A and B are shown apart, each in its own frame.
Chain A
Amino acid sequence: NAGVMQNPRHLVRRRGQEARLRCSPMKGHSHVYWYRQLPEEGLKFMVYLQKENIIDESGMPKERFSAEFPKEGPSILRIQQVVRGDSAAYFCASSQQQDGVSYEQYFGPGTRLTVT
């Protein structure tokens, strides 16, 4: 059973370009979470999605960032007009359907974004 997959693993963008980060959840998981880890800091929650729905985006910056989890295909975290401060490791996690029961999240290897 493959784990959570993220690609690319490393991404370099110049200031002002767009970054697209992809996440394929574990098989059978319908919930996806995105977290960001700035250098030398802890992980910060960004957004929680189910298929075709954003459940909680309280951690997303108000501008330039968006996320989707379409019916088919991976979840996408999109950053428009990147700035140097966006340089970080972005981790995706997935879990089974909730239904009021607590299920653990499994994390991918992350995408390391560098903005030059």
Chain B
Amino acid sequence: GQQLNQSPQSMFIQEGEDVSMNCTSSSIFNTWLWYKQDPGEGPVLLIALYKAGELTSNGRLTAQFGITRKDSFLNISASIPSDVGIYFCAARGGGSQGNLIFGKGTKLSVKP
């Protein structure tokens, strides 16, 4: 079946650092989404991408829909402590049968 490979699995950030994570697949998708989940809560939508090559920002967050339609990237600039959490990519194929599938997440923690 379709799978999303999200990397890295986890990373440590120091305040002020830029962060990058990505999601890849062997399948082609029409929609890419990025969600963030805080402990004990449901995921919250950060960015939605609908067109290959599209680059979209939401404050310090920037995401890109890969030109091959098989990948997507999320960058966080100048990280702050409240950026910690789990970031999930999600993707959807086309048509009415295209359900959303999720990657396994990238866990962002603060450097000790």
Question: A and B, one complex?
Answer: no
B interface residue numbers (CB < 8 A to A)? none
